[in-house]
Amino acid sequence: MHITFHENTRIFHLYNDDISYIMTIMRNGHLGQLYFGKHIKDKEDFSYLLETCERPMTSYLYENDRTFSLEHIRQEYPVFGTTDYRQSAVEIRQENGSRISDFTYRSHIITEGKPLLLGLPATYTEAPKEALTLTVTLEDDVTKVRAQLLYTIFAKGGIVARSVRLSNEGPRPVRLCRAMSLCLDLPDRDYVWQQLSGCWARECHIRSRALEPGILSIGSMRGNSSHEHNPFLVLKRPDTTERRGEAIGFSLIYSGNFRIQAEVDAHDTLRVLAGIDPETFEWKLDRSETFQTPEAIMVYTDSGLNHMSQTFHKLYQKRLARGYWRDKARPILNNNWEATYFDFTQDRLIEIASRAKECGVELFVLDDGWFGARSSDRAGLGDWKANKTRLPDGIAGLADRVEDLGLKFGLWFEPEMVNKDSDFYRQHPDWILSTPDRNQSHGRYQHVLDFSRKEVVDAIYEQMSAILRDAKISYIKWDMNRSITECYSSAWPADRQGEIYHRYILGVYDLYERLTREFPKVLFESCASGGGRFDPGMLYYAPQGWISDNSDAVERLKIQYGTSMCYPVSSMGTHVSVTPNHQVFRNTPLHTRANVACFGTFGYELDLNKLTQEENEEVKEQIAFMKKYRKVLQFGTFYRLMSPFEGNETAWMAVSEDQKTALVGWYRVLNCVNGRYTRLRLEGLNPSYYYRNSQSGVCCFGDELMYAGMITSDETAGQLPPDITPYTDFESRIYVLEVTEP
């Protein structure tokens, strides 16, 4: 890994064995983008990559030059209003009303490792040699606003981390109207845009389309990153597949309003911007103040989408997630939500937990409904004290009883919310986000606390930390069940109201930071009505997240497949629930529900007492299986093999680091009679290792399994030969491949 600055040509080259990122200081002092892609050898001069030419209807910067127009130059940090008509990375409104700025090179510094971003989640290094960071300082002469562009290249992988620090060194305040984290100008538009979109219970579906002139964007203006669009984009070449071809993934480490967009101009140049959504953002930068943008990650590969995803998985697993649980196999849990909803007593919970323990579960999680006057979603949020009518021994007493059973205990919170029917709201009616004289819209009868105010975050922290200190709590599910409306904070002046959405998220991060620091062994799972805020920002604090309220095994195929584009299996909350399923009312076999959920953190969202004896035995086997293989399932190298978006079958697999164990998940939605012979070409095995297939007993070398394929054909062909379990609809198999002696 190197960062080289060629003095004569004023060219920066960041490179490692996988990638090169090249830019130059241009004659106007701005930074020009020359190349981002597969590694190329370093040399003094790449300036030929900066293309300019005289074009009609173009505005030029210099009197006697009809070639230098920012409109046609690929840049690193484009500004608004001075010959470039595309959307800019930064826009600053000044006291005289002007929005023009001109950021020119001042200096740069190359440092080992990677700096922390104050108050914001970001990737990190554990040893200085893991990464190099280039900080380029630019300044606008008129406003004296300084922009520091941070670029980190890691020793391994095609990763570049970017963010921007804007500081006001001038005498007057300015307003940031747009402060994107990343701009990448690419020389052509021959890419397919691929996003992860959906809505509640249908998160992270893969949607793709070709790029055409104009702007294509995804984003959120809801206050949370949203079910609708994940802050993630892939640009892949039209012929790129899971196994081969070029792709660039863009991921924003942020949990609030965001925008990721691609603009194709008239000459097919492509500009990608990623950062905080400019529409809902304005930030007053007073003298001597600094604003730090969230971090954006770019991953380049020429080896297909699986490789791109694996790069993200490893980065987010090892250098974004933190703490005690980061590298640990996750406890198998039983959550009571779909088992009881709000209808439970202490005894009932103990009954559920006892049976869970018998089956091998390790952690019992008490979901919503344990606090204040919470007997439905109309009351109680904000009053984080046990409801003694339901839980006579309080949370500490219940936790003790669960621990006595030999289980760990976990608890649900929704810290950012309040019901008007709560003591907390009655004491602090002005602590919700709401605009004076306007309607206060609710979502699920709840209102959003004003986390832009420190005293509000403090008050919630006091309540939560008191319970965590008092009771044996090993896990917290941190929920967030509505988006922000009428965003306004009565604590901030009129000219700072544009900051509230971002300050809110900073408040959320602050609370997470305080709690995770004080209770380092507690496992946090983030949630927002399922995947409404499943993003890299959350992963920094909570190494796993509930990816969807939809627990139907068939629906989950798409959700987990899509989510895996960016996020590791160890981060995906996945549970087995009852049938008929509570979201789509479908009946799927118990083994299929477990076979889907085992590619995740794994747990049960039901009352095991309500299953038959036979089903309980099956559950015991599932749990024993999960305990044996979860390290490989959650932390192995993950490959997508067949897409649920393209057909009736889905397949994926995880391979252990030493390549001695692989688990292949194969799923078929509808049965088909007398169908074709089917086989799966596996990935990531060692060609010379000899593997035994647990399903068929067949032994093969890795090369056979990868190149000839593993047979998955249905032996029944519409009839039922003796000793064969018939395949049905919603069928699935897990094939365990383990190295054996030839």
Site string for ligand GLA, 320-359 (x = CB under 6 A): -----------------x----------------------
Which is it for strands 408-413 and 417-419: parallel, antiparallel or unpaired?
Answer: unpaired
Instruction: Select the span of 40-48, 217-225, 278-286, 525-533 touching ligand GLA (CB under 6 A).
Output: 525-533
Instruction: Tell the smallest beta-carbon distance from residue 526 to ligand GLA (Å).
Output: 10
Closer residue to ligand GLA, CB minimum distance, 227 or 236 = 227
Phi, psi (rounded to 5 degrees) for 203: -75, 155
User: Smaller CB distance to ligand GLA: residue 139 or 479?
Assistant: 479
The stretch near ligand GLA (CB under 6 A) out of 82-90, 137-145, 434-442, 523-531 is 523-531
Q: Among residues 481, 544, 577, 595, which is the contact residue for ligand GLA, using CB under 6 A? A: 481
- Residues in the interface with ligand GLA (CB under 6 A) total 11
State the minimum distance, in angstroms, from the CB of residue 337 to ligand GLA. Answer: 5
The candidate with the shortest Cα–Cα distance to 34, out of 16, 15, 21, is 21
| 363-382 binders of ligand GLA (CB under 6 A) | 367-368
Q: By the 8 A CB rule, do 179 and 293 touch?
A: yes
**Using CA atoms, how far apart are residues 269 and 248, in angstroms rounded to an integer?**
16
**Beta carbons of 306 and 682 less than 8 angstroms apart:** no
580 prior amide bond cis, ω within 30? yes
Count other C-beta atoms under 10 Å from residue 142's C-beta.
Answer: 14
Of 299 and 528, nearer to ligand GLA (C-beta) is 528
Q: What are phi and psi of 74, to 5 degrees?
A: -80, 130
- Cα-based torsion angle of the residue sequence 239, 240, 243, 247 in order, rounded to the nearest 10 degrees: 160
For residue 279, give the DSSP letter.
G
Query: Within positions 548 to 567, which residues make up the interface with ligand GLA, using CB under 6 A?
Result: 549
Residues identified as active-site: 479, 549
Smallest distance from the beta carbon of 736 to ligand GLA, in angstroms? Answer: 30
**Residue 549: CB minimum distance to ligand GLA, A:** 5
Q: How far is CA 272 from the centre of its chain?
A: 19
Smaller CB distance to ligand GLA: residue 281 or 371? 371
Phi and psi at residue 19, to the nearest 5° = -135, 165
Name the residue nearer to ligand GLA (CB basis): 306 or 422.
422
Q: Which is nearer to ligand GLA, 367 or 450 (CB)?
A: 367
CB of 482 to ligand GLA, least distance (A): 10
Q: Which is nearer to ligand GLA, 250 or 478 (CB)?
A: 478
State the CB neighbour count (10 A cutoff) for residue 177.
18
Contact present, 370 and 387 (Cβ < 8 Å): yes
Q: How far apart are CA 610 and CA 584, in angstroms?
A: 20
Mapped onto helix, strand or coil, the DSSP state of residue 12 is strand
Tell me which residue has tokens 């930068």: 285
Answer yes or no whether residue 479 interacts with ligand GLA by CB under 6 A.
yes
CA 493 – CA 495 distance, rounded (Å):
6
CB-nearest residue to ligand GLA = 368
Rounded to a whole number of angstroms, the minimum distance from the CB of residue 530 to ligand GLA is 5
Q: Cα–Cα–Cα angle for 512, 325, 595, nearest 5°?
A: 110
Q: CB of residue 147 vs ligand GLA: minimum separation in angstroms?
A: 39
530 part of the interface to ligand GLA, by CB under 6 A: yes
CB of 141 to ligand GLA, least distance (A): 51
To ligand GLA, the closest distance from the beta carbon of 225 in angstroms equals: 15
Interface of this chain with ligand GLA, residues 408 to 467, rule: CB under 6 A: 412
Using alpha carbons only, give the angle 280, 281, 283 rounded to the nearest 5 degrees.
Answer: 160
Residue from 252, 417, 523, 527 binding ligand GLA (CB under 6 A):
527
Contact 561, 640 (CB under 8 A): yes
Q: What are phi and psi of 406, to 5 degrees?
A: 100, 20
Only segment of 292-300, 486-494, 527-535, 557-565 that touches ligand GLA (CB under 6 A): 527-535
Q: Where are the alpha helices (DSSP H) in 320-368?
A: 337-340, 346-359
Does 525 bind ligand GLA (CB under 6 A)? Our answer is no
The least distance separating ligand GLA from the CB of residue 431, rounded to whole angstroms, comes to 21
What are the DSSP calls for 415-446, one per residue?
Answer: TTEEESBSHHHHH-GGGB---TTS----BTTE
- Choices 274-282, 305-313, 524-532, 666-674 (CB under 6 A): range interacting with ligand GLA: 524-532
> Which residues, including other chains, have CB under 8 Å from residue 41's CB and lie 6 or more apart?
none
Instruction: Out of 316, 546, 639, 689, name the contact with ligand GLA by CB under 6 A.
Output: 546
Segment interacting with ligand GLA (CB under 6 A) among 69-77, 180-188, 526-534, 715-723: 526-534
CB of 253 closer than 8 Å to CB of 121: yes
d(CA 429, CA 420): 8
* Residues binding ligand GLA (CB under 6 A): 337, 367-368, 412, 479, 481, 527, 529-530, 546, 549
